[in-house]
Structure 1
């Protein structure tokens, strides 16, 4: 009886049911769209962090750069020996650690042993400045001086003219300066750290036995710049390396040009048994803040920076869009949804007021108030579910449209030099630098999760219940006498 009556009444009031369903649909569609875009923002932010510090990295451990000693120079210096040849080619590499003060390699094991830490891997960040070019030796030429008109000669009383002072003509120097970044990676644990965010597109990556092998993996952008291919060779401070792989970052651009085995990087940087960054993965991603406190309390003098800390430094259009999606979008969704619920409730209440004769007659025939209320609530819930289905369709369509368009967002990663945070990792500031900034480009997507769909269904039912509760309350207060008074 309930189902038959429900179907008949909804069929009689198609326009009213459609208006209520559309109002709820618009509110639910906006919630789905905002939730999906917010999820896309979070995903884009994760890509930024992964592209810089590797997939699975929850935090990094660094040490702030110590202040330079008085009279010391934090910049690179080059020394070239003088030779007698007229044109001499010179080349020199200056290899310096960057990203903060060096840490002992034993700290990697100590960090890995902390409570809540699943694994820890050390890496050494280097900056190589290469200066090459040539000096050209000038030639000395003498000039002939004129005789003195006063008859006074040179010392000794001679009045004859003498030769002028010799002058150097020609000569000079022409040098090129090239700076690039190198990261020493633990080849036995490549699943965590800077190389974890890279995908080998040509050649192969390191094997666990290549701890002291003079091989390198080159980023795609740097390989294109230098025209490197698998099998190409290059030198760093006289050490010859062979390219075994070309790597492409999973997203945006790589901030590291070359990857070499950690032991070789320590030798080149005169940093034996030292690292600049320790990459940490927690056993439980929900306990990252607890693990951070654990490491800070047990290992003094270090700076622990989590992904959340680093995310707060992301600027650019990604940060702006994320703020709009999480603040303006959230409050806009709430306002529209509240308005949709209110309109649905008012329309349902208005519809009940126009059914005075119907409900009064039903009560006169013996229907109790609870049965009348149940009828009104049932109709409202069906309207809500219809609105939910339509809202889900609209919301999912809008989310797919955003994904199809894939608007480009920029993310600027600012980091302080000296390893004050996760910026002390690859691409961080070197000695003498105050700050560095890396700009990345991310394509925005709007993934729709099952949780979002479940939320939409819940909102649809809630909207129906609110509208039905108001309409049912009004219907329950009607008396059979009202129906008789409404008869013309």
Structure 2
């Protein structure tokens, strides 16, 4: 009897049921869209932070560089040997540590021993500035023109003509990698697309892995060689970053990098992986308390340095978007409840007659709630369909968002600040394509909202119907 009456009433009031269902559907669709876009924002931010950190890296330990002493060297200093030949080629490399003050390698073990730390790996960040070119010696010529004052015979003063210098300056970043623990550190966010990576036996090998962008710029391939400060290295692999652009140009075994940078048993960055990714803050506090003078940077700290359209859109999705969806959903629930209550008030004769025939109030209430629940479920199905369509449209269009990694002078983030080891960025920009993934949790939330909307509307309408009396039906008869 309940099902037959329910089907007949919904069929008879099809337009009213559709209006209630569509109101709920719009609210639910907006919730699904905002939730899926927020999930896409989270994924995009994860890609950005992955390009800053190593895969599996929860935090890094560095030490801020101390202020230079008065009268100290403030910039590059290149010295070339003077030679008597007319045209002489000159080349010089200046290798400097980057990413903060160097730390003792023994601190890596001390950090690894802290409570909550699963693993710790040291890395050394270098910046190499190569000056390469030639001097051309000028030639002395004497002027013999008339009317000039000079020595006997009217000769003029000798003048140097020609000569000069032509030098190219190339600056690139180098990361010293602990070849025994490559799953944590500078190479963790890359994949080898040509050649191979270091073996555990190559702790001091004259071998290098170069980034794909740098290899393209220098026309390097596997087997190519290059020289840094008189040491020749052979390219054994080409690395491509998992996301964004490479922020390190050359990867060397840690011992080789320490030799080049005159930093024996030194590192500039300690990459740390926590035993529990949900307890990063306590581990950070423990490291800072037990190892004084260091700076511990987590992904949350780096997230605050990310700006650009990605950050703006994420803020809108997390604040304005969510509040807007809550407001629209609340309005949809209220409209559904008011429309249901209004529909009940127009069915005075019907419910009064049913009560006169012996229907108890709870049965009338159950009938109204049942109709509202069906309207809510229909609205849920429509809302899920609309939400999925909106999420699919966002993914299909894939709008590009930019993430500006704020310049920190090479001292704030892992390996020397956002942008990676040794890279002093005034603002490294990454472009991320936005997607809108819809999870099973979001669908379950939509179903729950549909049921909740039906219950709220049914509760209000049922309460109104339960208060009607048979006499009300008689008074409504004209």
Structure 2 match to 1:309: 301
2 CA distance for matches of 1:183 and 1:91?
22
CA separation of 1:444 and 1:333: change in aligned 2, threshold 3 A: same
For the residues of structure 1 that align with 2:21 and 2:109, how far apart are their CA atoms? 61
Q: Which runs of 5+ in 2 are unaligned?
A: none
Q: Which residue of 2 aligns with 1:68?
A: 68
RMSD of aligned C-alpha atoms? 1.9
Q: Which residue number corresponds to residue 176 of structure 1?
A: 168
Contact 2:408 2:418 in 1 (8 A): no
Q: TM-score, normalised by structure 2?
A: 0.96
Deviation at 1:487, TM superposition (A): 2.5
Any residues of structure 2 matched to 1:97-246 within 5 Å, and which? 97-144=97-144, 161=153, 163-246=155-238
Change (3 A) 1:41 1:423: farther
What corresponds to 1:86 in structure 2? 86
Secondary structure in structure 2 of the residue aligned to 1:424: coil
Question: Deviations for 1:437-482, whole angstroms, at most 9, x for unmatched residues?
Answer: 2111111111111111111111111111111111011011111111
The corresponding residue for 1:448 is 438
**1:422, CA displacement in angstroms?**
3.6
Cα 1:148/1:226, change in 2 over 3 Å? closer
Please show how residues 208-287 of structure 1 align to structure 2 within 5 Å. Answer: 208-287=200-279
Q: Is the 8 A contact 1:116 1:282 kept in 2?
A: yes
* Aligned residue in 1 for 2:392: 400
Q: Does 1:424 align with 2:396?
A: no
| Equivalent-residue separation in structure 2 for 1:31 and 1:113 (angstroms) | 45
Cα offset, 1:8, TM superposition: 2.3
Equivalent position of 2:357 in the other structure: 365
Q: 1:34 is matched with which residue?
A: 34
In 2, the alpha carbon distance for the partners of 1:423 and 1:38 equals 29
CA distance in 1, matches of 2:371, 2:384: 20
1:192 is paired with a residue whose SS is coil
Partner of 1:467: 457
Q: CA deviation at 1:428?
A: 5.6
Are positions 1:342 and 2:319 aligned together?
no
Shift in Å, 1:107: 1.1
TM-score by length of 1: 0.94
Q: Distance in 2 between matches of 1:475 and 1:398?
A: 38
Distance in 1, Cα, partners of 2:378 & 2:270 = 54
Verify the 8 A CA contact 2:174 2:422 in the aligned structure 1. Answer: no
Classify the secondary structure of the residue corresponding to 1:3: helix
What is the rounded CA distance, in whole Å, between the counterparts of 1:325 and 1:361 in structure 2? Answer: 51
SS of structure 2 residue aligned to 1:404: helix
Shift of 1:271: 0.8
Shift of 1:386: 1.0
Q: CA–CA distance in 1 between the matches of 2:145 and 2:9?
A: 122
1:482 is aligned to 2:472: yes
Cα gap change, 1:381 to 1:161, in 2 (>3 Å): same
For residue 288 of structure 1, what is the aligned residue in structure 2? 280
CA contact 1:148–1:161 (8 Å) conserved in 2:
no
- Structure 1 residues 304 and 148, CA gap change in structure 2 (3 angstroms): closer
Q: Which moved more, 1:7-16 or 1:320-329?
A: 7-16
| Distance of 1:426 and 1:41 partners within structure 2 | 19
CA contact (8 A) 1:304 1:421 kept: no
Is 1:356–1:486's contact at 8 Å kept on the other side of the alignment?
yes
Deviation for aligned residue 1:145 = 8.0
Give the 3-state SS of the residue equivalent to 1:140 in structure 2: strand
Show CA shifts across 1:81-121 (max 9, x none): 00111111000111111111111111111111111111111
Tell whether the 8 Å contact from 2:173 to 2:421 is kept in structure 1 after alignment: no
Deviations 1:408-451 (A, max 9, x none): 111110132252344725746969x7x63211111111111111
* Superposed CA offset, 1:114-146 (max 9, x none): 111111111111111000000111112233487
Partner residue, 1:22 = 22
Q: How does 1:47-66 map to 2 (within 5 A)?
A: 47-66=47-66
Displacement of 1:148 after TM fit? 9.9
Q: Deviations over 1:19-75 (max 9, x none)?
A: 111111111111111111111111101101111222111111111111001011231
Unaligned runs of 5+ in 1: 155-159
Q: Which position in structure 2 is the counterpart of 1:157?
A: none
Aligned residue for 2:200, secondary structure, equals coil
For residue 412 of structure 2, give the secondary structure of its aligned residue in structure 1. Answer: coil
How many matched pairs? 478
For 1:437 and 1:312, how far apart are their aligned partners in 2? 14
The alignment partner of 2:407 has SS state of strand
Q: What is the rounded CA distance, in whole Å, between the counterparts of 1:73 and 1:281 in structure 2?
A: 37
**SS of match in other structure, 1:28:** helix
Distance 2:359 2:131 in 1: 96
Contact 1:415 1:428 in 2 (8 A): no
Change (3 A) 1:23 1:147: closer
Cα distance between partner residues in 2 of 1:447 and 1:351: 38
User: CA 1:148 to 1:411, structure 2 compared with 1: closer, same or farther past 3 Å?
Assistant: closer
User: SS at 1:398's partner residue?
Assistant: helix
